[in-house]
């Protein structure tokens, strides 16, 4: 707070002196709102579903071609974009627990890339982090067995230090993992009908339609777009045909934090977080979502009704100055839901969604702690692909602690694991962080503790990543790597 006051006073002094009048102007222009301003003239695009081809014995093969192309992102303009099996974004992959899968990832982009399966439990060599680079013209063919609970995951490039740019150009897609338990639940599950992907990305455009990569003079987090695209659709509407609609929210933005709600304040039910279903639905009116996070919500509509999915100004926990330049004062209309005159009846949501799995280990001292500092380091170190930052025993559950020692918004994502938040900013995990997670927002000055379920794929040579999912921070080096090993770890 004191730093906020000092920087504010400095700004005021400069402005009064006429020296920094520009800063005052920048401050005044730094917030964005599209609330009440969209015409919702465009039908929401639904990414095609890709189920994989059975290859002989028991492998499901997915062909993914990373390519360039042009898209009409803003109506009437043409934008050069990147995508998977198409010019922008990629298909939604449907994977089933127990299946053996093989991905055939062909890089037809003009740059080296990788494809990372965010939230997937898999061997490090199949993870698609910065070490599994695919050169232009090459194909990468990782395989693994799907071994995790029903959840909404996603895939995106991870080449260091170009994740920021490549995801912004449009290389990203959703993954739906299904399992038998979840498929028995009476949940909305017809893809694109009452089970709807909602991929949120913010972009800036030049007048001629080109993507604008500039980052704003004082933005502490990088690109913040003034236009929000949902599944690549500008100002979208979705025709609702059932009483209950399940929205699978994915924040695939570079830096923007959303605060999801409905325009009339009606509550919705949160049923799943990053890595699976909650024990029971939780009624919420607001849901924060930082980059990389997912959430499944169920929204009820009456026949003929309209409701707008909106992002309210998010509480970033920053001082007002940093918050304003990190999007903390921004609000957006995202998607209009239009209910038909008659709606299919939906069964009520089940009271129990998944077995109760309270965190198993009593929180003592943390096994590992990490400090996020500035805009590009962890524990004072920038990412070094040749340095292993931590070694962890396969199959263990460890208490990790992450502190945001800066005034800047950060979050924290760990590859190959899932975790449960046990302590959040001095209190208990709020309801929206009570389920299985792999990415968590860490407010400035605060500490988050979580129990990490380490994977059981040991490999002393190939690391998994942990990093801030604000992509500019990640690319600047706010990333580390750990290996999972069989033996007791060296300390
Ligand atoms: Cu979503 Cu390291 O990634
Ligand atoms: Cu990841
Ligand atoms: Cu960060």
Q: How far is the centre of ligand 2, averaged over its atoms, from the C-alpha of 142 (Å)?
A: 16
DSSP state of 24: H
pTM of this prediction?
A: 0.94
The number of angstroms, rounded, from the C-alpha of 166 to the middle of its chain's C-alpha atoms is 15
What is the position in ligand 1's atom list of the atom closest to the CA of 474?
A: 2
Ligand 2 midpoint to CA 322 (Å): 27
Which residue is closest in CA terms to ligand 1's atom 1?
118
Counting atoms of ligand 1 from 1, which one is nearest the CA of 439?
1
- 3-state DSSP call for residue 432? helix
Whole-number Å distance, alpha carbon 416 to ligand 3 midpoint, is 20
Ligand number nearest to the C-alpha of 253: 1
Q: How far, in Å, is the centroid of ligand 1 from the Cα of 126?
A: 14
Distance in angstroms (rounded) separating the CA atoms of residues 243 and 156: 33
CA 84 to chain centre: 18
- Residue located via tokens 């190959």: 416
Q: Give the ligand 1 atom nearest the CA of 116.
A: 3
Rounded mean pLDDT, 17-29: 68
Q: Tell me if the bond preceding 161 is cis, omega within 30° of 0.
A: yes
pLDDT surpassing 70 at residue 7: no
Render pLDDT for 351-408 as a digit per residue (tens, 0 to 9): 999 998 877 666 689 999 999 997 899 999 999 999 999 999 999 999 999 999 999 9
Per-residue DSSP letter, 366: -
pLDDT tens digits for range 437-478: 999 999 999 999 999 999 999 999 999 999 999 999 999 999
Q: Which two tokens stand for residue 420?
A: 């449960």
Instruction: Say how many CA atoms lie within 13 Å of 329 toward its Cβ.
Output: 13
Close Cβ partners of 145 (under 8 Å, ≥ 6 residues apart): 98, 99, 100, 101
| pLDDT in the model for residue 339 | 98
Q: Among 92, 95, 91, which residue's Cα sits nearest to residue 61?
A: 95
Q: Which ligand is nearest to the CA of 474?
A: 3
- Whether residue 143 is predicted with pLDDT greater than 50 in this model: the reply is yes
Between β-strands 418-424 and 447-453, what pairing exists: parallel, antiparallel or unpaired?
antiparallel
| Distance (Å) from CA 263 to ligand 2 centroid | 32
Ligand showing the shortest atom-to-Cα distance for residue 466: 1
Q: What is the DSSP letter of 264?
A: T
DSSP 436-473: -BSEEEE-TT-EEEEEEE--S--EEEEEEEEE-SSHHH
Q: Give the environment of ion ligand 3: residues with CB less than 5 A.
A: 410, 468, 470, 473
d(CA 473, CA 466): 12
Share of the chain above pLDDT 90, in %: 87
Select from 403, 418, 415, 390 the least CA-distant residue to 465: 415
**Sign, CA torsion 38/43/44/47:** negative
Q: What is the pLDDT of residues 286-316, one digit of tens each?
A: 999 999 999 999 999 999 999 999 999 999 9
d(CA 217, CA 20): 14
Give the DSSP letter string of 137-168.
Answer: T-EE--EEE--S-SEEEEEE---TTTHHHHHH
Q: Is the pLDDT of residue 149 over 90?
A: yes
Nearest one of 192, 188, 193 to 349, comparing CA atoms? 188
pLDDT of 250-278, one tens digit each? 999 999 999 999 999 999 999 999 999 99
Tokens representing 25 are 């102007």
CA–CA gap between residue 468 and residue 21 (Å, rounded): 33
Return d(Cα 63, Cα 65) in angstroms, integer. 7
Reported as a single tens digit per residue, the pLDDT across 329-357 is 999 999 999 999 999 999 999 999 999 88
40 vs 54: CA distance, rounded Å? 40
Q: Are β-strands 100-107 and 59-71 bridged in parallel, bridged antiparallel, or unpaired?
A: parallel
Tokens of 155: 């895939």
- Quickly state the pLDDT bin for 320 (edges 50, 70, 90): confident
Query: What pLDDT, on the 0 to 100 scale, is given for residue 386?
Result: 98
Per-residue pLDDT band at 2 (split at 50, 70, 90):
very low
């Amino acid at each position: 707070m004191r730093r906020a006051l000092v920087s504010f006073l400095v700004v005021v002094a400069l402005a009064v002196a006429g020296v920094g009048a520009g800063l005052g102007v920048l401050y005044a222009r730094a917030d964005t709102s599209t609330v009440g301003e969209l015409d919702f003239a465009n039908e929401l695009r639904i990414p095609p579903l890709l189920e994989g081809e059975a290859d002989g014995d028991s492998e499901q093969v997915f062909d993914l071609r990373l390519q360039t192309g042009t898209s009409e992102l803003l109506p009437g303009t043409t934008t050069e974009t990147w995508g998977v099996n198409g010019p922008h974004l990629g298909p939604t992959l449907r994977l089933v627990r127990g299946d053996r899968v093989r991905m055939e990832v062909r890089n037809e982009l003009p740059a080296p890339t990788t494809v990372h399966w965010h939230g997937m439990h898999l061997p490090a060599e199949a993870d698609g982090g910065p070490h599994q680079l695919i050169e232009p013209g090459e194909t990468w063919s990782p395989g693994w067995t799907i071994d995790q609970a029903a959840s909404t995951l996603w895939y995106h490039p991870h080449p260091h230090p170009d994740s920021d740019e490549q995801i912004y150009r449009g290389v990203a897609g959703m993954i739906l993992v299904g399992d038998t338990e979840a498929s028995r639940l009476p949940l909305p599950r017809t893809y694109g009908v009452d089970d709807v992907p909602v991929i949120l990305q913010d972009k800036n455009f030049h007048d001629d339609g080109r993507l604008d990569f500039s980052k704003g003079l004082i933005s502490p987090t990088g690109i913040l777009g003034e236009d929000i695209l949902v599944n690549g659709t500008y100002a979208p509407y979705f025709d609702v045909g059932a009483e209950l609609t399940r929205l699978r929210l994915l924040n695939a933005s570079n830096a923007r934090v959303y605060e999801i709600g409905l325009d009339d304040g009606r509550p919705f039910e949160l049923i799943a977080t990053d890595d699976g279903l909650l024990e029971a639905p939780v009624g919420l009116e607001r849901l924060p979502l930082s980059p990389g996070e997912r959430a499944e919500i169920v929204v009820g509509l009456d026949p003929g009704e309209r409701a707008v999915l909106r992002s309210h100004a998010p509480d970033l926990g920053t001082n007002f100055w940093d918050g304003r330049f990190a999007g903390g004062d921004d609000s957006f209309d995202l998607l209009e839901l239009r209910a038909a005159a008659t709606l299919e009846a939906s069964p009520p949501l089940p009271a129990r969604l998944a077995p109760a799995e309270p965190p198993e280990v009593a929180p003592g001292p943390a096994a590992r702690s990490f400090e996020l500092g500035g805009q590009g380091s962890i524990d004072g170190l920038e990412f070094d692909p040749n340095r292993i930052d931590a070694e962890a025993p396969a199959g263990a559950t460890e208490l990790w602690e992450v502190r945001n020692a800066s005034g800047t918004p950060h979050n924290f994502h760990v590859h190959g694991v899932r975790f449960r938040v046990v302590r959040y900013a001095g209190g208990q995990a709020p309801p929206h962080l009570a389920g299985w997670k792999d990415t968590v927002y860490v407010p400035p000055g605060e500490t988050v503790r979580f129990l990490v379920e380490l994977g059981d794929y040991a490999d002393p040579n190939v690391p998994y990543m942990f990093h801030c999912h604000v992509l500019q921070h990640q690319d600047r080096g706010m990333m580390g790597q750990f290996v999972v090993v069989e033996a007791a770890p060296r300390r």
